[in-house]
Each structure stands twice: as structure tokens, then as C-alpha cells.
A and B are shown apart, each in its own frame.
Chain A
Amino acid sequence: MELTGLLLAMVVASPVLYLLAKMSKMLAYVLLMIEEIAIFGILLLNKGVVSQYEWVELFGNLKLNFSITPLSWFLGTIVMLVIALTTLFMLPIKHKSAIKVFLFNIISAAALGAFFAADFFTLLIFVEIMTWATLIMIVQDRKYSWKEALKYVATGAVGSYSFMYAVFMLYKKFGTLEYSAVGQALSDTSSAFQITIYVLFGVMALAKSGAFPLHIWRRGAYSESPDEFTPVFAGVLSKIGDYVFFLTVILLPSVELFANMPALRGVPLPNYIMAALGGISIILGTVLAIRQEDAKKLMAYSSVANSGYFFLAFGIGGTYATIGGLMHILNHALATAAVFMAFAAVIYRTGTTELHKLGGLIFKMPFTFIAYLVGIISLAGIPPTSGFVSKWLIYQQLVRDGLPFLGFAAFFGSIGSFMYVFKPLTGIFLGQLKPEHREVKEAPLPMVIPMMLLTLLTVFWGILPSNAIAYINKIAEQVGTGTIEVTFSKIVAMTGEWDSVVVTTVFFVGFVIALIIFMMGKKAKQVELMDTYTGGEFIYTAELYHFVYKMYRPFDRMFENWPSMEDWLSSLSDKIKEFGALLRTLFYPKSPQGYVALGMLTLLVAFWWLR
């Protein structure tokens, strides 16, 4: 596969598509879709091709290196799958513009380049292109989105600069930036240098992945970005941070580097700290997600919680956690993309994601409901969806190593996710239909098809997770962590086996038993949703008879007085502004005489100092 050719074609295609979109938007959108699906197809056909190495010379000895390994193929294909489905999804969307086509194409090329990069410099360049294109993408649709975009780029800059610093340090010391070469060279350096590199890479991973303490961009950036872009943004672009962390712990190999450091139950302290940050992300994201009243913001915090799982899994390392974490990348990409597509479809038809303004859409948009339902079942980790296996494997590692505090975080996120995924389910799809939504129709076909495909894939890898695990085993072989035993339907882990085919069959048997009992009873009389037990009251307004606003009020009360990081940051920024104002009064006098005096003073000081 000519990977460099592919990337070059994508880069060249961007301005062409932009110009075409100036003439006909629909044509450009269709061409974009064909292009992305074709690239996804090419990747899919090249499944077996591995360890291919390619480069492009920019100038001098500056080269962009790419390689196709099982790991990069896995991530690149997931990215292209979600992107290709999204390009189909956005055909009917209302706000079409030429710049969106351009940016979408650039972002997909950059994401592909980043995951196929073979050295840190190439990775850095593509991540930066992706970040800046995303920044412009966020501000396209909504009026005040630039504020949130600023948060995104500021947090991203923290990560990028620390990463850049680490890359320069590595290049200065070793003269090479290739992943494996750096990994080997690092083992001979001092532990202070190793820790520095680890921390700098870790900051980058936390920032791009949106985990605690660099998670603040997530809520705003997801809720304000264009609806058709959010599935890609949340599903795959944030995975770059998790990928960086994976590289940090696996390719550097951190467990071996830090072997002589203090360790908690076999996990070296630096790794444990990152895993603990992941644990905090899980708890924080879960609690904040439960308290949101807007579906997109809620899911943004859910993504914070889920990125915590990656840090936890890759941080503690070990066979099960590593494979579980990689599997979780697949699940989370599919499920989040499906959920955000469902939200986009709801916005397309109703214009809002505020939960208390919606309700009862299940009878109007059943396919969107199914996509959302399967997505959240997978996010909550319930079988038979692919979400179960990854969490199960992570638990295996936590049990094996005996890590109760990280286990607490993992269980908290898992059980708490029932609470927050149920809120949009109630708010948007169940309950009373608002009178103004009586005429709402199902989302158009190009939107329904990608949602259904994602749903099918989630269920497929739920019933046959061994299929995905078998491929992930290849990655594990490549990077040198252990593999786990799988058969056609069974996965064998430390504390037991998981036979998803048997469990799914048993579930359907149970369902059939239920259906038989149900059919044997007398046929039920169909009544309206408003025709319910009201304790003798007469109620006519459906709007007031829908319970979702502040649904978890008792839970909210427990967390009301908790410190908020955003409050702290905004008060910090106020303090800096005040300090600036103070300086301004000192150094920006109101009258011309003042400037003259200040200028004289400066000159005198300069003269005295330079003398």
C-alpha cells in the first residue's frame, strides 16, 4: 500500500474539494464521502500488510516516516471507519459550507498520518495540523463557540508544547526520533531524563485525551462544535491522546525503565500516578455527567470518564489491561460515534439537545432510538455489546494485581454510567411527547444507515469479541506484552472464562420465554401516554408531565458544595486580569507628560545599566 501516496492524494484533494464546494456543495460532499469510503476500503483490503516502512523527504535530512504495523493499522482503520460513516451521515445536514469540507478532509488526512507515523516528529506535525483544523471546525456553527474553541486550543497548547520540548530533547540526545530506536536508547540514560520524558509525554496525552486535570475543554468543545463533526471529534480524534500514552508506556517501556522505583503492588509509581489520574477522571467525569442537563455536554463528560479508563488500563499495564484498553478504544469509538450521531439526528429534527425540551421521540424516531440504546448499552459495558469485554478485561487486571483503589474508580465509572446514560434516554426518547414535536419524522436515510451500521458492529463485536481480541493479540505480540487465549467464542482470562455466544443464546432463550408468557396473556388495551395514574388529578399539559429536569436531584445535593475546577480557573484568570490592570495603571499613564517621564526614566535606567 502506498501510504504516502494516499496521504498526498488527500492533501491535494482538500483545495480541489473546497473549490468544487464553492460551485456545488452537494457535489463536494458526495465526493468527500466517496473519497473517505475509498480510503477506508483501501485500508481494509490491506489488513495483512504489516511492517511496511515509507518516508517522504521534506528538505535536507528532514523526513516524514510512516510505517504500517498491526497497531497503526488497527487505530487508522477505526478512525477511517468513523470518518467514512460520518461523511455519509452529514449528506443531509443543513449547515453545509465549503470550509467544512476542506477542514474535514484535512482532519482525516492528519489523523491518518498521525496514527501511521513512525517517529515522534511526524506524529507531532500531524497532531498539530489536526488540532488547528479542529479549532477552526469548532467555531463554524454556533455564535459563541470561539470561547470554547479557545479553551480547546489553550489546553491543547499545554500538551503540544510539552510534547515538542520532549521531542527536541530526545532528538538532541539521540539524533533519532523513531519509536523503537528511542525506546532502546532511553534505557541507557539517567532516570531523571527518563522521568522528564515520561512526564512531558504524559502531559501531552492528558491534554489531547481530555483527562483530569486537563479536561476542561471537553464540555464546551463537544457541545459547541458542529453536530455532524462531534462523532468524529469525540469518537476518534481524542484517541490520539490515548495513543500517545500507549506509546509512552509500551514503547518506552515504562514498567521496565521504572523497575527500580518504588512500586505499588508491582506497578511503578509513575505509572500508578498516571493510572490514578485516570481513576480521578473516571469519577469526576461520571459525577459531572450525571449532573448535566444538556445531552451533548453530558456525553462530553462521559468521554472524560472513558478516557480515564485508557489511562487506568495502560498505566497499570499487564496483559489483560493492555488488551482491554485497546479493545476499549474500538468500543468507545463505535459507541460514542453512534450516540453523537443520534444526538445530531435529534438536533436535525428538533433543533435542541436540552433534555427538558424534548421527550417521547421514540415513537417518532425509532431507528435513532435503537442507535442510542445500543450505544449506551455498550458504554455502560452490558453484554451482548462490545463494551462488556474491554471493561471485563480491565477488571481482570485490577483483580490480578490487587488494586482496590483503582478498582473503586473503575467500578464507580461503570455503575455511574447507568445513571448518566439513562438521563438522555428518558429525556429525549421516553416520557411525554411535546406538542410541538408531533410532526417530527425519523431522520433521513443517509443518517440512519451509518447509525445502524455502527449499531450492528457494536453488537457483532459484542457477540464475537474473540474476533477483535484475536487481532489485538497481534498488536500485543508486536509490542511485546502477553497475549490472551481466545477460541471462536470464548475468551479465557485469569478469573474465569467469558463465552459470549452462550451468554447471548441464553439471553435470547430468556427473551423467548418472556415472549411466550406475554403472548399467552390477554391482549392489552392500548392507551395514551397521558392516560396514567395521577392520584385523581386531571392533567392536560404534556410539557409539565415529563420528569427529567434535575432527575438526580438527591444525587446533585450530595455534590453541590464540591470545588469546581472551572470556577477556580476563571477566578484565577480574573486575578491575572486585575494584576494586568494594576500594571497598566503604573505603566500606561493617562497624559502625554506621563509617557515622556516614563520614557526618560527608562532611558536613564538603560543608560546607567549599560554604562
Chain B
Amino acid sequence: MTILKGVALLVLAFVYTVTLEGLARKITARIQRRYGPPFWQNFIDIFKGLTKHSISHGFIFDFGLLMAFGGTVATVLFIPAGNLVVFPGLDNVFVVIYLLAIGLLGMAMSSVGSGNPNAGIGIGRALTQMLGYELPFMIVLLGVFFQYRNSSLSDLARMQIESGNYNAIVMPIGALVAFISLLGMLGKKPFDSFIAPAEIASGPLVEYSGKYLGMLLIQHSFATFIEVGMFVNLFLGGGRNIWEFLLKFFIVYFLAVIISAIMPRFRVEQAVKFYWKWPLILSFVQVLIVISVSGR
């Protein structure tokens, strides 16, 4: 049963996120008064990539990619989608965040292992930015865990539905901070300096081709599913069933896409300074409110 659920979740995550990414391209194009590709373009890109010839820069280039893909697939299985929960009770937020880090580390190793300095610059920026957005996010999470005495994603979602109050309403400041952090996690503008295509040739992605690029595109959509899914479960109460979850997922993701479509790009230290200013202060404000109100 666990295996069936796991397969279902992976297929759902893949199909839904890749479709949404295609739609996002269309919407961004319309905002910028272009026509844009069809919404199934991302499927075409991925399957085309997987069947093409490619180059490799040695075993760490391959191994890092497998680690990135494997780590991300494993993390998806710990994200509850509505009533589709693969590992009830074990879907700890810490597990999700740190398991996702395996994927990030693999990706970083693989791309830097290609020997291209553009990749190194990109990874350096990505890690720097991570220190920016993760801090306010973790502080907000501390408040959430303190409030519920629980860090299991499915339990948190269930408790919000049962009480009828979503965290986005109970902790509006925290939800706002987490959403800004989410933009950084997703690498949406204005926090996309680490992939900056025109500046450092897509940074970490510069050396990938063929099946490598195809796998990375899948990995990227899985990562998107994890990050947005985590936000939905933490602040919007997940869902009673899959459809409710997917609807909320859709709303959050499109909010991010629309904001991203009209933003310029921060330099990486500007991004970090930004995160360490308002989001961090607001996250502390939120946590102190939570602790003083529900302080046990």
C-alpha cells in the first residue's frame, strides 16, 4: 500500500508541477505581452532531453546528478498531498528540509564537478542566498512548532482543518515571511541571481545536456512541488482531499509566478541583506507573539 501511494504521489507531483510550470511560462509571456509556448511545452522539453545525446565530465558529474535526483524523489514522498500521505507521522518538516539538502548537495557537487567556473559562481550564490531565506523561514517554523507541539506536516495540516483556522490567518506575519522565503527557495525573481541566464550562462545548469538536463528538469519540478507543498501544508492547512490540496497549491504557485513576472533581479548580497532585514525582524515579531500568547 505504501508503495502504491508513493508511486501515485510521484506521478501526481510530476504531472501536476510540470503542467503548472508550462502554464506559468504562458502566463509570464502574457504579462510581458508575448504569445508564449503551449502549456505542454515542458513535457516536450523533458522527454526530448531524455532521448538526446549528452556529454559527461567524469563520475562525480554523474553521481552528483543521481544523488540530486534521488534525494529530491525521496523528499517528495514525505510531502502529504491532501489525504494522500505516504508516511504518516514520519513527515517531519526537519526531515523534509534536510533530505532536500542531500539533493542540493548532489546538484552542487555535480555541477561544480563539471569544471566550469560559471557553475561554481552559481552554486556559491545559491548557497549564500540559502543562508538568507532559510533563516526567517526556520524562525517562523519554530513558532509554528511551538504552537502545535508538533512538526509533522500531515498532523499540522489536519489540526488546522479541524480547528478551522489556517495558520495564514492565525499567523499572518509568519505566513507572509514564509511566502517571501518561498520565492527565494523557488529561485523566482527577484531572487534568481544564481541561475541568471544572461550573466553566468544559467549558473549550475551550464554544462548539462541531453538526459542530464532532462533529469534536472524533472528534479526541479519535484523541488518546486516540495517547497510549495510544504507551504500549503504549513500555512493553508493542506487539504481534506487531493483536489483541495492541488487547488491551494495552484493559488500559491501562481501568486509566486505573477510576482516573479514583473520583478527585476537582486544581486545576491542584496537578496541576503533584504532577507536579514524585514523578513527576519517580522519572523521574530511573529514568534514572540506566538510564544507570549500561547506560552506554556
Contacts and interface: CB of A to CB of B under 8 A. Distances in A.
Given A407-B138, A498-B92, A510-B72, A524 B118 contact: no
Contact of A503 (B95, B109, B211): B95
B102 A382 contact: yes
B210 interface: yes
Contact of A558 (B90, B139, B145, B273): B273
Given A525-B56, A558-B273, A426 B74 contact: no
Given A402-B291, A407-B138, A517 B50 contact: yes
A521 B214 contact: yes
Contact of B92 (A496, A522, A535): A496
Contact of A507 (B65, B70, B112, B114): B70
Nearest to B111: A430
A529 interface: yes
A552 B211 contact: no
Given A526-B56, A526-B58, A517 B69 contact: yes
A533 interface: yes
B143 to A, nearest CB: 7
Contacts of B50: 517, 520-521
B296 to A, nearest CB: 8
B127 A418 contact: yes
B62 interface: yes
A407 B137 CA distance: 12
Given A399-B142, A430-B109, A525 B125 contact: no
A430 B60 contact: yes
Interface residues of A, number: 77
Given A497-B92, A529-B114, A425 B109 contact: yes
A107 interface: no
Interface stretch (B128-136, B182-190, B240-248, B256-264): B128-136
Contacts of A360: 115
Contacts of A609: none
A31 to B, nearest CB: 40
A521 B150 contact: no
Contacts of A405: 284
A382 B284 CA distance: 26
A527 B55 contact: yes
A498 B128 CA distance: 29
Chain A contact surface mostly: helix
B291 A404 contact: yes
B117 A524 contact: no
B70 A511 contact: yes
B89 interface: yes
B73 A513 contact: yes
Contacts of B35: none
Interface centre among B90, B128, B218, by most chain A C-beta atoms within 10 angstroms, is: B128
A358 interface: no
Interface in B196-230: 201, 206-207, 210-212, 214-215, 218
Contacts of B121: 547
A497 B87 CA distance: 11
B167 interface: no
A258 interface: no
- Chain B contact patch, size range: 35 or more
Contacts of A511: 66-67, 69-70, 74
B212 A524 contact: yes
Contacts of B127: 418-419, 422, 552
A270 B67 CA distance: 45
Interface in A527-584: 527-533, 535, 545-548, 551-552, 554-555, 557-558
B81 to A, nearest CB: 16
B95 A383 contact: yes
A395 interface: yes
Given A524-B54, A554-B269, A557-B269, A415 B130 contact: yes
A377 B152 CA distance: 24
Contacts of A555: 128, 131, 269, 272
A410 to B, nearest CB: 9
Contacts of A430: 60, 109, 112-113, 115
Contact of B151 (A425, A495, A518, A548): A495
A412 B139 contact: no
Contact of B113 (A362, A408, A522): A362
A370 B65 CA distance: 16
A522 B52 contact: yes
A337 to B, nearest CB: 21
A400 B145 CA distance: 8
A89 interface: no
Contacts of B92: 495-498
Nearest to A534: B116
A515 interface: yes
Contact of A551 (B114, B120, B201): B120
Interface string A369-388: 00001000100111100001
A556 to B, nearest CB: 9
Contacts of B95: 383, 498, 503
Contact of B98 (A362, A383, A530, A551): A383
Contacts of B117: 545-547
B98 to A, nearest CB: 5
Given A382-B105, A411-B135, A532-B207, A522 B53 contact: yes
A458 to B, nearest CB: 15
Nearest to A503: B95
B150 A495 contact: yes
A524 B120 contact: no
A521 B139 contact: no
Interface centre among B116, B155, B210, by most chain A C-beta atoms within 10 angstroms, is: B116
A265 B74 CA distance: 37
Contact of B135 (A415, A532, A557): A415
A506 interface: yes
Contact of A380 (B99, B101, B151): B101
A408 B102 CA distance: 22
Contact of B66 (A402, A415, A496, A514): A514
A502 interface: yes
B195 interface: no
Contact of A404 (B125, B207, B287): B287
Contacts of A521: 50-51, 54, 210-211, 214
B94 A392 contact: yes
A220 interface: no
A76 interface: no
B116 A388 contact: no
A510 B211 contact: no
A522 B135 contact: no
B150 A496 contact: yes
Given A362-B60, A422-B127, A381 B98 contact: yes
A192 to B, nearest CB: 31
Interface in A277-307: none
Nearest to B267: A554
A431 B115 contact: yes
A562 to B, nearest CB: 14
B99 A383 contact: yes
Question: Can you list the 4 inter-chain pairs with the closest CB atoms, starting with the nearest?
Answer: A521-B211, A511-B70, A529-B115, A510-B73
Given A380-B105, A506-B87, A555-B131, 6 more contacts: A382-B101, A513-B69, A514-B69, A522-B52, A526-B56, A530-B115
13 contacts: A388-B98, A404-B287, A418-B130, A430-B60, A510-B74, A514-B65, A518-B66, A522-B53, A526-B56, A526-B57, A547-B121, A554-B124, A554-B268
Interface of A: 265, 360, 362-363, 373, 377, 380-383, 388, 392, 395, 398-400, 402, 404-405, 407-408, 411-412, 415-416, 418-419, 422, 425-426, 430-432, 494-499, 502-503, 506-515, 517-518, 520-522, 524-533, 535, 545-548, 551-552, 554-555, 557-558
